[in-house]
Amino acid sequence: MTNPPINQPVDFEHFITREHTDCVKYDARAARFGRADVIPLWVADMDFAAPDCVRHALAERVAHPIYGYSIYTDEFFTAIINWQQARHSWQVSREAIVPLPGIVPALNLLIQALTQPGDGVLVQTPVYPPIHQLPLNHSCVLLENALIQTPQGALIDWPDFEEKIAQARVFVLCSPHNPVGRVWQLDELTRIAEVCARQNVIVLVDEVHADLVFSPHRHIPFARVMAAKNTRCITLNAPSKTFNIAGLNTAYALVEHPALRDQLTHALQAAGLTSGHCFGITALIAAYQKGAPWLDQLRVALQHNRDFVVDYFNQNNHGISVVRPEASFLLWLDCNALMARKNLPNDAALADFFIQKAKLGLNPGLSFGTPGAGFMRLNIGCPLSVLKTALNQLNQAINADN
């Protein structure tokens, strides 16, 4: 690859065939949905090429024929520090950064390290399934603070939050929140920090969607808020969602609290997870050093897709309603009225309707916890033309006689 010009316009309408690349989204369709011809709008990666700066850096690395064990270089740490400062006005120290092979593995190691069987772990449902699964994985008690779904967006049920926090050892905050698309505001984050500090609860904050926030919303790193509140917290982040490089298994934790950092480092060592991914390190450095112009164009394209699909559901009385998400490429579709209209008696029938009648592959809401009943999650990280075809198929299925 030749070195790409910086700031060139990106064509997010270009359709790239992904079949036969062993990608989950396309190549696992038959296993997941029982048929391989559904339009895949599920697992949270995007159908867009990674930025040229990342591809160029990877091509250079691949050209060297030895792919042995890799170290996390000074450049890796500096790229993270500069990115957090530039994008989120957050000054993190070099010592606070702990490289990770992924956020989900780290969340599991942390729950294992920080809890005893029977301890309470609080999550806000509906929530990303591997977060919902965490307490169960480690014989902890699942405490659910169900979000209040309103037409303006999901809100925190504060009396319930305070009650549950009192029973919890760890709280896992998803910020911005997958799947409801909320970008938590300063007053909400401040109140969470205060309550957790008061109850001495450790907060694990998953900020992997933080770079994909739409104007006028603004992501506020939780650790920046809690710094004054003396809360113990660990932030988890990665360039994986931002730059569509999830297959490179490279993430990091930001932990200013020395004792918590030692616990994480020890857990990683004990699990043999300290070695870096030779391509992941290269990709993170390139993305964080040079990917900002691409990201700014991506956010415009995603916002356009979001508005098109949300407006479509608002204008067509299908029985599907959706709140405009404040971040990321996931829409949380309320299908309860559709279920009534099409005589779909339960969530299995709803999922079946999407697969068999509309030929669309979405995530069923129930996998995000019981408040997800009657919902489906739609991934809009693809060319708009794909979404238009999907909406046509859905429209036809809804208007068909049976």
Residue closer to ligand PLP by CB (options 115, 240) is: 240
End-to-end CA gap in the chain = 52
Does position 124 interact with ligand PLP (CB under 6 A)? The reply is no
Our finding on whether 102 is near ligand PLP (CB under 6 A) is yes
- Rounded to whole angstroms, the Cα distance separating 1 from 8 reads 15
H helical segments located in 222-291: 222-226, 258-270, 278-290
Interatomic CA distance for residues 146 and 186, integer angstroms: 20
Residue 244 found at the interface with ligand PLP (CB under 6 A) = no
* 109 versus 339: smaller Cβ distance to ligand PLP: 109
Buried b or exposed e, range 199-220, using 16+ CB within 10 angstroms: bebbbbbbbbbbbbbbeebebb
| Interaction between residue 240 and ligand PLP (CB under 6 A) | yes
Window contacting ligand PLP (CB under 6 A); options: 151-159, 238-246, 344-352, 372-380: 238-246
| Residue 175 engages ligand PLP in binding (rule: CB under 6 A) | no
CB 151 within 8 A of CB 127: no
Backbone angles phi, psi at 88, to 5 degrees: -130, 15
Minimum Å distance from CB 401 to ligand PLP?
A: 37
Q: Is 208 in the site for ligand PLP (CB under 6 A)?
A: yes
DSSP string, 147-170: PEEETTEEE--HHHHHHHHTTEEE
Binding string, residues 250-269; x marks residues near ligand PLP by CB under 6 A: -x------------------
Establish if 246 lies at the interface with ligand PLP (CB under 6 A).
yes
Interacting residue with ligand PLP among 238, 287, 335, 398 (CB under 6 A): 238
d(CA 287, CA 57): 9
* 10 lines the binding site for ligand PLP (CB under 6 A): no
> Which stretch, 97-105, 150-158, 295-303, 344-352, contacts ligand PLP (CB under 6 A)?
97-105
CA–CA gap between residue 126 and residue 370 (Å, rounded) = 7
Q: Rule CB under 6 A: which of 307-366 touch ligand PLP?
A: none
Q: Which residues bind ligand PLP (CB under 6 A)?
A: 44, 102-104, 128, 174, 178, 206, 208, 238, 240, 246, 251
